């Protein structure tokens, strides 16, 4: 979407679950910058739930690589010590736990730029210009076409999360900096 104005190499990873490894990458490359796109917690949770990532314990290509224990697959961002707990969770709670785990690792990264996903959806053109200036990038040949293709995805559902997710997990989600669920 963008081209660097200088010649520094860039790596782009569009993935939540690699966050666990960014801290190690930062140690090896101290000048590296990370860009995070924050989204409303509830919409993130429901998006993951609607994609069915944690409906069962099957392999999910979007979460690859995953690790396998017996006939069940788990996201590689999950600590193996949490497997028993993970197995006790329902689908909504697994989505919530996944978000909480990744947020824990994201907090450790200090050289980062954070953008708001809702701003992107609200006004893609203005947002792209903001990113361009903040990161010292110029538009590439496909940027405008990509900007025009951005549409709001309605994932919000009228559900009572108090009936779907245990209160201790909901309380932790409410503490995330990207906003409260309620």
* Proportion of the chain above pLDDT 90, given as a percent: 26
The radius of gyration of the chain's CA atoms, rounded to the nearest angstrom, is: 18
Quick one: pLDDT at residue 145?
Answer: 93
Domain ranges of the chain: 2-174
**Whole-model pTM?**
0.80
Phi, psi of 79 (to 5 degrees): -70, 135
Tokens 């590439």, residue located: 140
Quick one: pLDDT at residue 157?
Answer: 62
pLDDT tens for 114-144 read: 888 888 888 999 999 998 888 888 898 899 9
């Amino acid at each position: 979407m963008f081209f660097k104005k200088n010649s520094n190499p860039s790596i782009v990873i569009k993935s939540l679950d690699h966050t666990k490894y960014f801290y190690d990458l930062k140690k090896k490359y101290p000048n590296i910058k990370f860009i995070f796109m924050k989204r409303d917690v509830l919409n993130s949770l429901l998006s993951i739930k609607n994609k069915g990532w944690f409906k069962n314990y099957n392999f999910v290509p979007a979460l690859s690589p995953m690790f396998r224990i017996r006939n069940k697959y788990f996201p590689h961002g999950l600590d193996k010590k949490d497997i028993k707990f993970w197995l006790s969770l329902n689908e909504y709670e697994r989505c919530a736990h996944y978000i909480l785990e990744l947020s824990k690792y994201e907090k450790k990264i200090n050289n980062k730029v954070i953008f708001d996903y809702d701003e992107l959806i609200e006004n893609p053109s203005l947002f792209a210009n903001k990113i361009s200036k903040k990161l010292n990038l110029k538009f590439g040949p496909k940027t405008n076409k990509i900007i025009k293709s951005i549409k709001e995805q309605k994932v919000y559902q009228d559900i009572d999360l108090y009936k779907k997710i245990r209160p201790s997990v909901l309380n932790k989600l409410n503490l995330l900096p990207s906003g409260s669920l309620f």
